[in-house]
Amino acid sequence: MRSEEDEKLCKGFGKNLANVRNQLHWSQERLALESGLARSYISDVERGIRNVALVNIFRLADTLGVDVATLMAFRLSNDNAGNQNEPRSAD
Amino acid sequence: MRSEEDEKLCKGFGKNLANVRNQLHWSQERLALESGLARSYISDVERGIRNVALVNIFRLADTLGVDVATLMAFRLSNDNAGNQNEPRSAD
């Protein structure tokens, strides 16, 4: 159950990254070159098979010149996640 | 150079997580219990010695009932990072 949800997050992030990159008309090659990350890594992230960590999330955002919140906003804009958009109450 | 910057990101995230948690008057124990993450892991993240990955960033935000952007906003609000706030231009 948890891992299915995790997979959805990774896929959502990857799809959103690809959308942002494509909107800027950047190729995966360009993003790889300018970020210093491997092309195969970028490809894996966009396919949602990598649980990308904090420093690379910032590296990708900085390289693309977008706010990190833009890369993280996929539950609101790029995913059919339904109720996941609602924050859980604190209690 | 890169790793010093990375360390700053991990420390910034950890400090911000602690701030958000403290504002909600949650203990590390409560965050650990409700998120299903180990208390020692939460402690490591808050001390900036973990490069926390996507699914745990969302898990922490969801558990605390805050938007993930709130946890990622530390370069603007919780860190004296100066020019790091400015996005790099695309070229």
Q: What is the pLDDT of residues B26-80, one digit of tens each?
A: 999 999 999 999 999 999 999 999 999 999 999 999 999 999 999 999 985 434 4
Classify each residue of A57-71 as buried b or exposed e, where b means 16 or more C-beta atoms within 10 Å of its C-beta: bbbbbbbbbbbbebb
Exposed, middle or buried: residue A4 (CB in 10 Å: 0-12, 13-18, 19+)? exposed
Q: What is the pLDDT of residue A87?
A: 45
- Give the torsion sign (CA, B21, B27, B33, B36): positive
- Per the model's pLDDT, the better-predicted residue between B40 and A85 turns out to be B40
Nearest-neighbour CA in chain B from A88: distance (Å) = 5
CATH topology of domain B2-76: 434 Repressor (Amino-terminal Domain) (1.10.260)
Q: How many CA atoms lie within 13 A of A45 on its CB side?
A: 24
Taking an 8 Å cut-off on Cβ atoms, the answer to whether B10 and A58 are in contact is: no
| pTM summary value | 0.81
pLDDT at B82 over 70: no
- A contacts of B55 (beta carbons < 8 Å): 5-6, 9-10, 51
pLDDT at B90 over 70: no
Residues B8-41 pLDDT 10s: 999 999 999 999 999 999 999 999 999 999 999 9
Taking an 8 Å cut-off on Cβ atoms, the answer to whether A67 and B87 are in contact is: yes
pLDDT at A6 over 60: yes
| Confidence band of B2 (pLDDT split at 50, 70, 90) | low
Q: What is the pLDDT of residue A3?
A: 85
Taking an 8 Å cut-off on Cβ atoms, the answer to whether A9 and B55 are in contact is: yes
Q: Among partner residues B24, B69, B89, which is closest to A69 by beta-carbon distance?
A: B69
* Domain boundary assignment for chain A: 2-77
The alpha carbon of A54 is separated from its chain's Cα centroid by a whole number of angstroms, namely 11
Q: How far apart are CA A46 and CA A19, in angstroms?
A: 9
State the ipTM, two decimals: 0.80
How is domain A2-77 classified at the architecture level of CATH? Orthogonal Bundle (1.10)
Token duo for residue A33: 């070159």
Residues A26-80 pLDDT 10s: 999 999 999 999 999 999 999 999 999 999 999 999 999 999 999 999 985 434 4
Helix (H, G, I), strand (E, B) or coil at A53: strand
- A contacts of B90 (beta carbons < 8 Å): 24, 64-65
Nearest chain A residue to B74 by CA distance is: A68
Q: What is the pLDDT of residue A2?
A: 57
Residues comprising chain A, all counted: 91
Q: What is the pLDDT of residue B9?
A: 96
Check residue A49 and report its DSSP letter. Answer: -
